[in-house]
Amino acid sequence: PASAVAHPDGRLLVGGVALDELAERHGTPLYVLDEDEVRGRCRAYRDAFPEAEVHYAAKAFLCRALAHWVEEEGLGLDVCSAGELELAVTTGFPAERILLHGNAKSPEDLRAALRLGVGRIVIDNPAEIARIAAAVGPHARQKVLLRVTPGIGAGGHAKIRTGSDDQKFGLSLRDGHAQHAIARILDQPRLELTGLHCHLGSQITEVKPYLVAVRRLVGLMARTRDAHGVVLPELDLGGGHGIAYRPGDPALDLPALARRVHTELAVSCASAGLPVPRLLVEPGRAVVGPAGVAVYRVLAVKTTPERVFVAVDGGMSDNPRPALYGVRYAPRLIARPSTAPPRPVTVVGRHCEAGDILAAHVPLPADLRPGDLLALPAAGAYHLSMASSYNLIGRPPLVAVSAGTSRLLVRRETLDDLRARDVGL
């Protein structure tokens, strides 16, 4: 996190709180989230996109406190399940500032969305048009966006690229499916089509794909006006803004993105003779990712002919990202000074699986030993939210820090929690 301060004694403070103290108090593995940085990042989005609606993508991480911070900072919320939606609304998040996503929305998702009154539902496939229209009350009208694929390959890994036509989300611009769906939505008196949506993918570090998306979506808006006489007032560019996981990694330049998207939107709309639509963006990772850190304790150090393995007390259940996407992290020793020279080691987890590798071939001090603490930066997004209880290991707790104080937001999952679900025998 930006507030991280390394002391000469080796301790690392985040939000003014020493991580080793938090590790003592709450145990490890542990996630720590810097509240001021999350709020600062929300504000940076508001500043960069003053006229846009910024919807924080809850899938990156959601808990009640976070929903509250995001609400206070004036952002909206992008949710993709009844669970995320209910958590936010029961925390006091205004439903009209929430939009619901999903390529396969369950009956519960749609019921919750309509009952709670979400601002917009993003239609992802033709079958949803009639489903949503039938579920809307007799005197109501539901605002919807249509998710389209602009045919752009962008994003940090094949599994998180969603702008191309050949993946499960959205309708293609190229084969007429998007145009056909627009016509069908416009025919539904219970639905109000407010605009188009696309999400190109995640961990995008270049501005260019967003500009191409703007041009292609404005093109479809122009065709919609020509075919139906309807001017769509909104354009949602999704999220995907890339962050650095290691020092020196590229990250998306937010002010540059905002500036160039606004310019492209103005130019494209002017040449199409359209008014500039209201812009929506849905950053997830860029709001919380850099504000979080994971803390592990070293349990074993083992040398084989090929490499040195450093085994910690967490692993692929609290961070599946290296195994899933090959993401590279930069763990560092905290809590004690070391003058030992760095040597390459492979940090592995405690799960019964050889692929449980958190960081391969990373430099750590040669005197690393059991009991040491390691911090893994950039752990605020898609860590706890993707954690599992593989091997019946409970999910770690999450602590918020701010101005020298800490507070537990999510407690550790206990064996009792896990046993309570096992109702058979």
- Please identify, among the stretches 9-17, 183-191, 283-291, 294-302, the one whose residues bind ligand LLP according to the rule CB under 6 A: 283-291
Establish whether 42 is a catalytic residue: no
- Segment 353 to 412, residues that bind ligand LLP, using CB under 6 A: 381-382, 386
List 76, 163, 195, 284, residue binding ligand LLP (CB under 6 A)? 284
3-state secondary structure (DSSP) of residue 273: coil
Residue with tokens 């990202």, as numbered in its chain: 321
Nearest residue to 83 via CA among 119, 113, 104, 56: 113
Residue 281 touches ligand LLP, criterion: CB under 6 A: no
37 in contact with ligand LLP (CB under 6 A): no
Find the helix packing angle between 254-272 and 208-228, rounded to 10°. Answer: 30
Query: Which listed range, 2-10, 85-93, 175-183, 238-246, lies at the site for ligand LLP (CB under 6 A)?
Result: 238-246
- Minimum Å gap between C-beta 337 and ligand LLP is 33
Which x/- pattern, by CB under 6 A, does the window 129-168 give for ligand LLP?
A: -------------------------------x--------
> In angstroms, what is the minimal distance from the CB of 284 to ligand LLP?
3
Using rule CB under 6 A, residue 205 touches ligand LLP: no
CB atoms within 10 A of CB 184: 16
Of 12 and 257, the one with the shorter C-beta distance to ligand LLP is 257
Give residues 50-109 in contact with ligand LLP (rule: CB under 6 A).
57, 59-60, 78, 101
User: Could you tell me if residue 378 is left (phi over 0), alpha (psi between -120 and 50 degrees) or otherwise beta?
Assistant: left
Give the residue carrying structure tokens 């999400």: 199
Contact by Cβ (8 Å): 401, 32: yes
DSSP string, 316-371: TTT--HHHHH------EEESS---SPEEEEEEE-SSS-TT-EEEEEEEEETT--TT
Q: How far is the CB of 83 from ligand LLP (least distance, A)?
A: 16
With contact defined as beta carbons under 8 Å apart, do 296 and 68 qualify? no
- State in angstroms the smallest separation of the CB of 203 from ligand LLP: 6
Length of the chain as a residue count? 425
Q: How far is the CB of 363 from ligand LLP (least distance, A)?
A: 24
Distance in Å, CB of 56 to ligand LLP, minimum? 9
Does the footprint of ligand LLP cover residue 350 (CB under 6 A)? no
Query: Contacts with ligand LLP: how many residues (CB under 6 A)?
Result: 23
Choose the stretch contacting ligand LLP; rule: CB under 6 A; options: 33-41, 196-204, 259-267, 296-304: 196-204
Cα 324 from Cα 87, distance rounded (Å): 27
As beta bridge partners, residue 363 has 344
Q: Residue 340 is encoded by which pair of tokens?
A: 């030992």
For 385, the token pair is 């939210």
Q: Which of 1, 170, 238, 322 binds ligand LLP (CB under 6 A)?
A: 238
**CA–CA gap between residue 61 and residue 57 (Å, rounded):** 8
Residue ranges that bind ligand LLP, judged by CB under 6 A: 57, 59-60, 78, 101, 160, 199, 202-203, 238-241, 282-286, 321, 325, 381-382, 386
Which residues are catalytic, by number? 352
